Structure 1
Amino acid sequence: MSYREERKFSLDKANFSGSAGVDFSKYESIEDLKELWNDTLEKGMHGICFSMYEDGQEPGDTITEEQVERRVKILKPYTKWIRSFSCIEGNEHIPRMAKKHGIKNLAGAWLGDDFEKNELEIAGLIQLAKEGCVDIAAVGNEVMYRKDLTEDQLLEYIYRVKDALKGMDIPVGYVDAYYEFSHRPRITEACDVILSNCYPYWEGCSIEHSLSHMQQMFGQAAAAGNGKKIIITETGWPSKGESLRGAHSTEENAMKYFINAQAWSAKDNVDIFYFSSFDESWKVGAEGVVGAYWGLWDKHEKLKF
C-alpha cells in the first residue's frame, strides 16, 4: 500500500480528546472511517503481536522459516517492534527474522503445565538472547490467569532467565492481565518491566467507553509497577463474531478501537503491541467465532479495510 496524496483524513487532524478519543461524528460513512484507519496504519505502530498460523495450522505444528519471514516482511513497513509468544516449534524464527529486517523484538517463552516444554522454552529464550535477537524477554504469558503454575514456580523461571541474561542489558518481564500485577506483588517486584494485557472487549465494555477503560487498566498496572515501565503487550478489538455484553464485534468498532489506541499511544507515548497482525482460524475453538477475527490483516494476509 502506498501513500495517497488525495486522502481527506489524517489522524494528525482528527479531534482527539483524551479518554474520549477521536470524534468520529464527522466521518459520515464507513468509507470515511476506512480511510482514517488506513492513514493511521500507514503512520506506523509501536508494536504488533505476531500471528503465526495459517489455515490448517495450530499451536504444536512446526512452522517454517520461510512462512515466518514472509509475514515479517508484510509487517515491516508498519511497526517498530514485533512480539512473539514462544521459542520453539518455529517460533524461534520470529526474533531472528525481526532482527534480520531491522525490527525490534519482544520475545516470549510460553510456559504452562508441561514442564518438559517449559525447559525447552526457557532454553530457547536464553539462546535467542545470546544471539542478540531479544530486546525484551517475556517469561510466560497469562500463566497466573490460567493457573498453570504456582507463583513460586513462575518466579523460579523468571529469576533463571534474569540470571542467564545478567549483564546483557535486556529487560526481563512477565505478561499477564493488568490486574494480576496488583494482586501478585512478588511477581511485580521480580519484573524489570511490567507487561500488561488490556482488553476492554473481554470485559464487555462498549466501544464508546473502551479507550477510557483501557487507560484505567494501564493506570492500575502503573500503580502496581510503582515507577517501572509499563508496556501494553496486547490490546485489540475483533471485527466479526459474538458480542460480549456491551462489546460488539463489528468492522466499524474494530477500526475505531485501532484508531483510538494508536492516537493515544502517539499522544501520551504509551508503548502498545496491538493484537493482532493476521486472523487465525484455529482460535475459533479457544474463544468462539470471535477468536478468528482479531487481525488487522485477514487470514489470507490481505489488509481488512
Structure 2
Amino acid sequence: MKFTTTVLTSLAFLIAKSNAEASLGFDLGVQATDGSCKTAEDYKSDLDTISSQASTVKVYSVSSCNTLQILGPVAEDKGFTIALGIWPTPDSTFSSEKEALTSYLPNISKKTIQAFLVGSEALYRNDMSASQLASDISEIKQLLSGIKDKNGDSYGDVPVGTVDSWNVLVDGANADVIKTADVIYANAFSYWQGQTMNNASFSFFDDIMQALQTIQTTKGSSDIDFWIGETGWPTEGDNFESATPSTSNAEQFWKEAICAMRGWGVNTYVFEAFDESWKPDSSGSSSERHWGVWNADRSQKYDLTCDFSS
C-alpha cells in the first residue's frame, strides 16, 4: 500500500480534528434471534452491552420493524445517538420511511440523531442511479426542514447523506451523490476482497483512503463529515477466497485495522454488534450469521482493547 501526499494530508487533517482516538459505533440489527422484530426491552439490553465500547449505533431503516418508533426513545434514554438509515427503494418503502420520520421524530430530541443516511449500498447494488439517489437525499433534507423535535427544534440542520461501498464512491460517475450529501459513510471489507490476514489491514486502509481522497476532491474541501459505515471480520463460516473466518482473525482485524484506523482519526462503525442467527446463507457463504463482536446472547467474543499510545 502506498499513501500519497494528498491522502497523508487528509489523515493529518482528521487527526487534528479528532484530538484523540476517533469515535466508534456499531451497526445494529433490528431482529431477534428467531427473526421477530426486537422489542424495547431487547434494545435496552443491546445498548447496555454496547455501552462498554460505544454510544452510537447505525440502523438501516426507520420503518422496518418500527425501528425509529421503538429504538428512538430507548436510545435517547440511554444517552445513545443513532445514524438512521432510510431505505429508498422501492417507492412504497421510501414512502413508509418518510411517514415514519414524520410520525416519530417529534417524539424524541434531535440530539439523539447523528445523521440521516439515504440508502445503504444502493449504488453498489444498482438499485438506483446516482441522480436518483441525489434527488432522494435532497427530498429528505426538505422533509426534515419541516419536522421539529419534542423541544421544538428543527431537524433541518441534522446532516443527511448516504452509505455505500468504497469502490462505488471512487467512481466518478457517482459524483452527484457526494456533492449533494452532507455526510458520507464508506463501507470496506477486506474479508469480501478475499484477503489473507497478512494483507487485510493494508487493504482496508488503502480502500478507505481512496474513498476519502475522492470525496474530498469532489467536495473541494478536506473539512467533511466522513465515517466508515461498515467493516469487520466474521468469526465463523466458509472461507471467501483467501479470507478465513475465525475468532482469532476477527480479533486481529480489530486490533490491526479498526483500532489503527481510529488511531489515525477516522470515525468507524463496525459491522456488526451482535450475531444474527436468523439470517440465511448468502452468496454461498455461511458467514452471514457470525459478524457480531458479541454473540447472539450478548457475550463478548474477543478482546476489544485498543492501544492508542503509540
Place the TM-score, normalised by the shorter chain, in its bin.
0.7 to 0.9
Task: State the one-letter code of the partner of 2:95.
Answer: E
1:165-201 CA distance string (max 9 Å, x none): 3463211111110121222111111111111001111
Change (3 A) 1:129 1:180: farther
* Cα shift at 1:45: 6.0
Partner of 1:46 in structure 2? 24
Residue type of the alignment partner of 2:251? M
After superposition, residues 205-284 of structure 1 pair within 5 angstroms as: 205-226=195-216, 227=222, 228-284=224-280
Once the two structures are superposed, residues 10-63 of structure 1 have per-residue CA deviations (whole angstroms, 9 ceiling, x without a partner) of xxxxxxxx99xxxxxxxxxxxxxxxxxxxxxxx996111112222220xxx543
Aligned to 1:109: 86
| Contact 2:81–2:114 (Cα < 8 Å) also in 1 | yes
Kindly tell me the number of residue pairs found equivalent between the two proteins: 261
Task: Find the aligned partners of 1:182 and 1:206 in 2 and give their Cα distance.
Answer: 24
For 1:126 and 1:185, the matched residues in 2 are separated by: 29
* Alpha-carbon distance between aligned partners in 2 of 1:82 and 1:151, rounded to the nearest angstrom: 26
- The aligned counterpart of 1:121 is 97
Structure 1's unaligned 5+ residue stretches are: 1-17, 20-42
Q: Structure 1 residues 148 and 127, CA, compared in 2 at 3 Å: closer, same or farther? A: same
Distance 1:142 1:283 in 2: 19
Q: What is the identity percentage for the equivalent residue pairs of Structure 1 and Structure 2?
A: 23
| Equivalent residue, structure 2, for 1:65 | 40
Alignment TM-score, normalising by the size of structure 1: 0.79
Q: Against the structure 1 CA distance between its residues 56 and 157, is the aligned structure 2 distance closer, same or farther, given a 3 Å change threshold?
A: same
* 1:145 maps to amino acid: Y
- Hey, what does 2:52 align to over in structure 1? 77
2:67 equivalent in structure 1: 91
Instruction: Letter of the 2:127 partner, please give it.
Output: D
2:234 partner SS = coil
Runs of 4+ in 1 over 6 A off after TM superposition: none
Whole-angstrom distance in 2 between the partners of 1:44 and 1:53:
29
Give the C-alpha shift of residue 273 in structure 1: 0.4
Give the superposition deviation at 1:238. 0.3
Residue 82 of structure 2 aligns to a residue in which SS?
strand
Q: Distance in 1 between matches of 2:42 and 2:128?
A: 32
Structure 2: 5+ residue runs without aligned partners? 4-20, 146-153, 217-221, 303-310
1:195–1:233 contact (8 Å) kept in structure 2: yes
1:174 aligns with 2:167: no
TM-fit CA distance, 1:129: 4.8
TM superposition shift of 1:301: 1.8
Equivalent in 183, 197, 202 of residue 192 of structure 2: 202
The alignment's TM-score, normalised by the length of structure 2, stands at 0.77
CA RMSD of aligned residues (A): 2.3
Counterparts in 2 of 1:303 and 1:45: CA distance versus 1, 3 Å? farther
Secondary structure, aligned partner of 1:155: helix
Deviations along 1:190-219, whole A, 9 cap, x unmatched? 111111001111111111111111111111
d(CA) in 2 for partners of 1:101, 1:44: 21
| Cα shift readout 1:240-296 (whole Å, capped 9, x = no counterpart) | 111111211111101101122342134211100011111012333335311111001
Partner of 1:164: 143
Cα distance, 1:126 vs. partner? Answer: 5.2
Judged with a 3 Å threshold, the aligned counterparts in structure 2 of structure 1 residues 126 and 247 are, in CA distance, closer, same or farther, namely farther
